[in-house]
Each structure stands twice: as structure tokens, then as C-alpha cells.
Structure 1
Amino acid sequence: MFGDMMGMMNKIKEAQHKVEETKKRLDTVLIDEKSIDGLLEVTVTANSHIKSLQISDELLEDKEQLEDYLILTLNKAIQRAKEINEAELAAAAKDGMPKIPGMDMFK
């Protein structure tokens, strides 16, 4: 019984380690998003950190338009980053978790 428990604890530690490694790796996964007309481009990591912004000179002439573009484009990029992040972390956690009958949390 204690051997099984130790094995499960080791599996859980392994899963935690895989999740931490995945979090670090997601800092290197870049997501590019553009406005519909290409006047604004953003790059974020899968951990939702903004890496770069490219703004057309045309947008610099209209503060309200620029603000709207930033909000819309950044929200799209962050949403994509969130989806990738959640999928990757769920896969890492599921892969390392011990098989406990009745406890299949990650279907």
C-alpha cells in the first residue's frame, strides 16, 4: 500500500515538474496577431506577455482609432495565447498524473 502511495506521490511530483517546464517553454511560443487591415501587428507569448507592437503611421494620426485597434488586436492575441496555454498545461498535467480509479479529472 505504501509503495503504491509513494509511486503516486512521485508521479504527482513528475506532473508538477512537467507543468513547470511547460510554463517556461510557453514563454518562447510566440503568437502573431494583426488587425484586419494590417495597420497594427502584435506579438505575444503563450503566457500572454506582449513581445512587440508594430503600428502604422496612419494610426498615429488618430488617437481613438489607435486605442480601438490596440484593444481589439491585443484581446484577440491574448485569447489565442490563453487557449494555447490552457491546452498545453492540461496536456502536461494529464500526462504526468497517476491513474487513480474514479479520479479521471482530465478527459
Structure 2
Amino acid sequence: MFDKLMAAQGKAEEIKKRLDTISVYGEVEGGAIKVTATANKSITAIHINEDFFKQADKEELEELLQAAVNKALAQAEQVSATEMQAATKDMLGGLGGLFGK
């Protein structure tokens, strides 16, 4: 039983490491602002088109940057949830012996 629980914990750590290697993106205004994040919801890059930056006012830039970040984080959440669901299904299948299945 303990071995199966340790294996499940190891699998969770493996998934977390894998999520760090998956990039997700959020962009607004046809790519004027692009945000890159990991599936673990860590922002890794922000790109603002120079021409857009020159003509945008501060408030517009802030609002669009926030929207791009939120899109990237929402995509990260989806990827993370999908990965965790698959792992949970695998782990529960592996733990079935604990419950007499």
C-alpha cells in the first residue's frame, strides 16, 4: 500500500515537471501583445509589438496586457487540468488494489 502511495506521489511530481516544459500563449489585438507561460502558470515571456506600443496609451496597454496574461493563464489551467485528470485516472487505477478492486 505504501509503495503505491509513493508511486502516486512520484507521478504527481513527474506531472509538475512536465507542466513546466509545456508552453501556452495568450495574445490580443492580432498579436500586438503576446504572453507566454508554462502550464504551471508561470509567465515566461511578454512581447509587445513596437508599433503598437508607440501608439497605445497607458490605460489601453495595461488593459490589453492584463487580457493577454489572463488568456495565457486560462490556457495553462486547461492544460494542467487535462494532465492532472489523466494522471488521477492512472493513479486511481493503480491504487485499485487498496480498495479490493
Scaled by the length of structure 2, what TM-score is found?
A: 0.83
2:43 to 45, 50, 53: 50
The reply to whether residue 40 of structure 1 matches residue 33 of structure 2 is: yes
The reply to whether residue 84 of structure 1 matches residue 55 of structure 2 is: no
Amino acid at match of 1:34: E
Q: Distance in 1 between matches of 2:53 and 2:41?
A: 24
- Farther-moved stretch of structure 1 (89-98 vs 25-34): 89-98
Q: Distance in 2 between matches of 1:17 and 1:93?
A: 12
Q: Distance in 2 between matches of 1:93 and 1:17?
A: 12
Amino acid at match of 2:69: L
Aligned length: 95
Counterpart of 1:64 in structure 2 is 59
Counterpart of 2:3 in structure 1 is 10
Question: Conserved in 1, the CA contact under 8 Å of 2:19 and 2:80?
Answer: yes
The reply to whether residue 21 of structure 1 matches residue 49 of structure 2 is: no
Q: Distance in 2 between matches of 1:90 and 1:13?
A: 18
Structure 1 residue runs of 5 or longer lacking an equivalent are 1-7, 103-107
The reply to whether residue 75 of structure 1 matches residue 70 of structure 2 is: yes
Structure 2 residue runs of 5 or longer lacking an equivalent are none
Structure 2 residue matching 1:47: 3-state secondary structure: coil
Measured after TM superposition, the shift of residue 90 of structure 1 is 2.6
Amino acid at match of 1:50: I
Question: Conserved in 1, the CA contact under 8 Å of 2:26 and 2:70?
Answer: no
Scaled by the length of structure 1, what TM-score is found?
A: 0.78
Structure 2 residue matching 1:42: 3-state secondary structure: strand
